Amino acid sequence: MLEASLAVYSWPSPLGSSGSRKYSRSHDLVGCHLANGTTRGGIASRLAPSRRALHRLRGGVASEEPAEAPWDYIVVGGGAAGCVLAERLSAEPDARVLVLEAGTDGSKDLRIRIPAALIKVFKSERDWDFNTEPNAETNGRSVYLCRGKVLGGSSCTNVMLYHRGTAADYDSWVEAGAEGWGPNAVLEYYRKAEHSLTGASQYHGVGGPMPVDDVPYINELSEAFMDATGKLGYRRNQDFNDWSAPQDGFGRFKVTQRSGERCSAANGYLEGADRRENLCVRTAVHATRIALDGEGDDLCACGVEYRHEDGSLSVAQLAAGGEVLLSAGAVQSPQLLMLSGIGPRSHLEDVGIPVRKAVEGVGEGLADHPAVLVSCGSKKKVSVTDEIRLFGTSLPNPVTLLRWLLFKRGALTSVACEFGGFFRTSADQSQPDVQVRFIAARAESADGISTLQKMGEGAKMGSGYTTQIVACRPRSVGRVRLRNADALCKPLLERVHLSAEEDVVTLREGIKLGRKLCSSDSFSNYRTEEIYPGADVTSDEAIDAYIRSSVHSANALTGSCRMGRESDALAVLDSELRVRGVGSLRVVDASAMPHIIGGQTCAPTIMMAEKAADMVLAQRAALRRYTAYVAHAEAHGAQAAYGAAAQQVQGGAAA
């Protein structure tokens, strides 16, 4: 699909002109060299980077580049959260911000820009291409996990659905110890990040970096799905992100598109910010460990070691009072912590990594949305794939392509699953436990992701339609572990799916619902036979076997460095996302979620980064006040300083 076209067409990058970029061993999207101020006093001195520790990590490798000044903030990972942090923190003109990203700028890549071209990204150079470890719960299979290796991260490789979950999801975060993350608190940041094309309201913002709109395309099979769901008695949900109403019901899902084109976090947040001299986005570099200084209670981050494409190592140094913000995602944030000696003691010792801080919860609690599908054939060639392909061949339809190129309309704007709903599989569920995503296309394998891969490889596609059944509030949790001490080796992802029997039951009942929808009279003019699970799969035991043999990921990895109370032995972070027992280090990404939310997780990740940026800047302001008090004390004496400090503190509390 689109093979020839994707190779030919490219547009100017929204991240700025080539004249503003510098390329050396790594790719700096923005270069900056500002004079860095220093602070004095107990707190600032303790946070200052250790030259001795940095020299040890550098390993004697000669650098071809001049020594650069320390950074106030080092953001590890230029994904959804990293792009938010880059923009918000560099808005402080005297804060020097460095972003380290393993991927490169994908803003010209049509595979990313065209929504339906996502299938070309799977297992490409833009994909980390992770897989879970085979286990009994998945019939000895591994499950493929697409994670974006590109500036913008998985906001460049997801299906763009904009969901927040429910207010009750965030109440559960507070109950788990994430104080300050309740529904009212997070709503402020959802509205701040959003530019709703339907206008502002109590639950929606206008003017934010991320556009939220409908897909400018409707397939007639999607209309049949809407009719079928209504006939079964379910309510029409006009806005799944309106917390004044239940999440239950069916409707049209919102997406993060701008005029029929994907808007990633890189597009939304880095446009304009790329011209700031105090922001440097360094791509094609792989973070290998966090540089640490001190011991015991005085342990703190002082920099980040990273590897260039040629294999050489560099260390970005942290300025006094600065912070390392780990935003590498739910797989690689815990991996990098463990590579740095922060994690479960016994595991680190097993792989030969010296323990700097034993934090048992690192890597624990990895959660995902497991998915299965029900698919039927169609006697009419009206599937979205029939519009994208030419007369049932593997060749792209030039009319469809031209419609997107000229008008940003038509089937290529489809994310495949922009219609669907949330449902409860039993009356005792307090919230919907199943999300149905309707796809106006036939599945060519029981594993839905494999169908997309086959299409991306050019396979011919039959006509049909599919309901993808997603356990949107799963109970199963797995973990991330290191294979060894090699930073370039992919980690172990263990028992992520179906370790809890409740999830199998949820998916089983979801399949029954999907069958009711697909066999509705609304599809009578289209339906031929059921392709998956198949007419012979009828008993609960047979359905369960089908689930275990075909479960795939809906791409929502969370929870592997979760927030929680200090009394929670597996809570890695406090409620301000600070790593317990390690100074100057936070984790800001989906791994920090105490529980997975009921919906896609890109929007919540962006919300978390927005809130984190405010937390970081508040601490920066507090440190400035502190250093001002110290300077005042040195100039005027301690008694006068105490008076000034009291006035400042009282004024800050009143504000």
Region 233-241: mean pLDDT is 98
**Is the dihedral angle over the CA atoms 451, 457, 459, 463 positive or is it negative?**
positive
For the ranges 92-96, 167-171, 645-649, the lowest mean pLDDT is seen at 645-649
Contacts of 649 (CB under 8 A, 6+ apart): none
Nearest to 436 by CA among 501, 519, 510: 510
List, in order, residues 6 or more apart from 535 with CB less than 8 Å away.
Answer: 529
For residue 207, the tally of other CB atoms under 10 A from its CB is: 10
Give the CB-side neighbour count of residue 95, counting CA atoms within 13 A: 25
**Sign of the C-alpha dihedral computed for residues 432, 438, 444 and 449 taken in this order:** negative
CA angle 331, 334, 335 (to 5 degrees): 75
DSSP code of residue 626: H
3-class SS shares of the chain: helix, strand, coil, % to 5: 35, 20, 45
The predicted structure's pLDDT at residue 635: 82
In contact, 151 and 274? CB cutoff 8 Å: no
* pLDDT of amino acid 631: 83
Mean pLDDT in residue range 41-59: 28
- The per-residue pLDDT for 10 is 30
Confidence (pTM) = 0.89
Question: At 232, which amino acid appears?
Answer: L
Q: Are 303 and 317 in contact (CB under 8 A)?
A: yes
Tell me what the mean pLDDT of segment 603-624 comes to. Answer: 96
Report percent pLDDT > 70 for the chain: 87
Give the mean pLDDT of the chain.
88
- Contact indicator for 187, 203 with CB cutoff of 8 Å: yes
Weakest mean pLDDT among 49-53, 159-163, 307-311, 536-540: 49-53
pLDDT digits (tens, 9 = 90+) for 405-439: 999 999 999 999 999 999 999 999 999 999 999 99
237, 247 contact by CB (below 8 A)? yes
Give the SS3 label for residue 201.
coil
The CA-atom distances, in angstroms, between 407 and each of 8, 159, 196, 331, 396 are: 18, 21, 21, 38, 17
More confident residue, 88 or 20: 88
DSSP string, 477-517: -EEEE-SSS-TTSPPEEES-SS-SHHHHHHHHHHHHHHHHH
pLDDT at position 643: 58
Indicate the pLDDT class of residue 37, thresholds 50, 70 and 90: very low
Lowest mean pLDDT among 21-25, 103-107, 216-220, 596-600: 21-25
Residue 469 φ then ψ, to 5°: -105, 120
Do the Cβ atoms of 377 and 527 come closer than 8 Å?
A: yes
Rounded CA-CA distance 74/186 in Å is: 25
> In the prediction, which pLDDT does 63 show?
35
Q: How far apart are CA 485 and CA 428, in angstroms?
A: 46
pLDDT of residue 28: 58
Question: Which range is least confidently modeled, 42-56, 184-198, 407-421, 619-633?
Answer: 42-56
pLDDT of 483-521, one tens digit each?
A: 999 999 999 999 999 999 999 999 999 999 999 999 999
Q: Does pLDDT of 167 surpass 90?
A: yes
Q: How many CA atoms lie within 13 A of 523 on its CB side?
A: 30
CA pair distance 144, 473, nearest whole angstrom: 20
* pLDDT confidence of residue 616: 98
Q: How far is CA 470 from CA 258, 432, 498, 531, 556, in A?
A: 26, 11, 12, 19, 11
pLDDT at site 230: 98
Could you tell me the pLDDT band of residue 8, with boundaries at 50, 70 and 90?
very low
The CA distance from 233 to 213, in Å, is: 27
